[in-house]
Amino acid sequence: MTRHKITVRDIGKKYESGRKLTMITCYDAAFARIMDKAGPDMLLVGDSLGMVIQGRRNTLEVTLEEMAYHCRAVSRANPAAHLICDMPFMSYQISPEQALESAGFLIREGRGESVKLEGGEEVAESIARIVKAGIPVVGHLGLTPQSIHKFGGFVMQGRDEESAARIRRDALILQEAGAFLIVLEGIPATLAEDVTQSLRIPAVGIGAGPGCSGQVLVCYDMLGMDERFNPRFLKKYAALHEIIENAAKAYVSEVESGAFPGKENY
């Protein structure tokens, strides 16, 4: 059965009904087609592609053009899920005008349906400008990967009262600026639940416990594509690295032995 296209309004209705929201991060048409068949509410084209796809140490080198390229690829799968595209580092920090232009580029050239940007009060004006232009916005608080040099690495945030209070305050500010959803990453479960309950919009968590309005995972991570990556927040629903490696070994062996291609292959 073909699913209807999920809109921001649909996401809001599901949240208001008390059902958990689902978001999956992917970066290309092949995975987007497969993931969308599972029925998630949202697909996120994350700037995490810098690490997962490009092999970089962090997300800071990802460009606006690269985000648009990958978002276009995902959009070609024609997913029913709502398509969100990350705004990469330094594509929105300079001014609200720059943020609006970058968001418009990701919608126009990347064919995204909403954009996500990191930060709290400091990006509220930019969010308001983007929303006013008719582009839905997702906020992102807690462990924001574009600020890893400030944090000293990929470390949990909100552990002390001062930083926890800032996250609580920033969540309300993003809501008032017009964000329709907030991602909470790498914060204590109790804090994430408090923030979620304080909002009128959903908060989707990653490494933030079960008290959020839903969850997000990267498809490569949940499929076990990298046996080296095993953070506590991740549940691997498959071990594809083993399957893929064994398939490649079988191919190499059969080509070398002459077993492939067989008569059935030509």
Distance CA(62)–CA(145), nearest Å, equals 12
Is there a domain that residue 256 lies in?
no
CA quadruple 160, 166, 169, 170: dihedral positive or negative? negative
How far is Cα 33 from Cα 231, in angstroms, rounded to an integer? 26
Q: What is the pLDDT of residue 127?
A: 98
Query: One-letter amino acid identity for 164?
Result: A
Task: Assess if residue 106 is contained within a domain.
Answer: yes
Any domain includes 199: yes
Q: Is 185 a catalytic residue?
A: yes
Is 265 a member of any domain? no
Across the range 134-150, mean pLDDT stands at 96
Domain contains 244: no
Mean pLDDT of the chain: 97
Domain that holds residue 88: 8-235
Catalytic residue (choose from 97, 122, 161, 185): 185
pLDDT at res. 1: 64
The mean per-residue pLDDT over the stretch 28-34 comes to 98
> Residue 252 falls within a domain, yes or no?
no
Name the E strands within the chain.
Answer: 21-25, 42-45, 82-86, 114-116, 137-142, 181-185, 203-206, 214-218
Number of domains observed in the structure of the chain: 1
Residue 260 belongs to some domain of the structure: no
For residues 245-259, average pLDDT: 98
pLDDT (mean) for 55-68: 97
Is position 44 within any domain? yes
CATH code where residue 78 lies: 3.20.20.60
Q: What percentage of the chain has pLDDT greater than the value 90?
A: 97
For 70-123, the pLDDT digits (tens) are 999 999 999 999 999 999 999 999 999 999 999 999 999 999 999 999 999 999
